[in-house]
Amino acid sequence: MVGFGAWIWQSVTISYRMWVLGQPLPQAWLTNAALLRLGGFELIAVAVISVIACARGWSFKAFGWCISWRLTGVALALFACGVLVYFFLPLGLHFRGRVSLWALVPTMAVNAFYEESLEVGYVFRVFGRFGVWPAVLASALLRGGIHLYAGLPAVLAIFAAGVLAGLIYWRTKSLWPLFLAHLLDDLLVLIPLVKM
């Protein structure tokens, strides 16, 4: 709840306003200030969750942060799947705003670390004892839930990506390919908002 409660609530309220009440997102809802708030919240949440995890005897190393060329290749293959989905399926993702590269890249790195550590690493630590499918489905449902604001087509694609990410994590025991693919996917989607 500490890590995702606020994001799920925000996603549900934004979705309700957009899809039920017909209220569009503000014209410039993604700004440098919004990015920095996001990164700051996620860093604080990771710190709080780290304390909770340490109290349980867990560490981020146990979540699987090993880096290798093979896992980097897995990340690039996963990113390529994301590129194909983004360009060839009508997901309806329309982000608005103007941001600076100096705010976008570090915030997206923090976001990818935060989401993969919690959506996959933490969820698998909790649900992994029940087997692969409960862990994969719990992780994918959480991933889809925090992106409700994006609309049903995007949520379904994100859920499917969550299933694939969960299976990759189960097989590799590493968050590195998920982190790198997530970072690259976020940059692909948001780089058009960078003001030059």
Mean pLDDT over residues 122-131, rounded?
93
| Per-residue buried b or exposed e for 135-166, using 16+ beta carbons within 10 Å of the residue's own CB | bbbbbbebbbbbbbbbbeebbebbbebbbbbb
Mean pLDDT over residues 163-184, rounded?
97
**60 pLDDT higher than 80:** no
**132 pLDDT higher than 90:** yes
The encoded tokens of residue 28 equal 């410039």
Four-residue CA torsion sign, 169, 172, 174, 179: negative
Distances (CA, A) of 102 to 22, 130, 134, 188: 33, 42, 39, 15
- Model confidence at 178, pLDDT cuts 50, 70, 90, reads very high
Helical packing angle, 152-172 and 69-88, nearest 10°: 170
Q: What percent of the chain has pLDDT over 70?
A: 91
**26 pLDDT higher than 60:** no
pTM over 0.85: yes
- Model confidence at 7, pLDDT cuts 50, 70, 90, reads low
Mean pLDDT over residues 94-105, rounded?
88
Domain ranges of the chain: 5-193
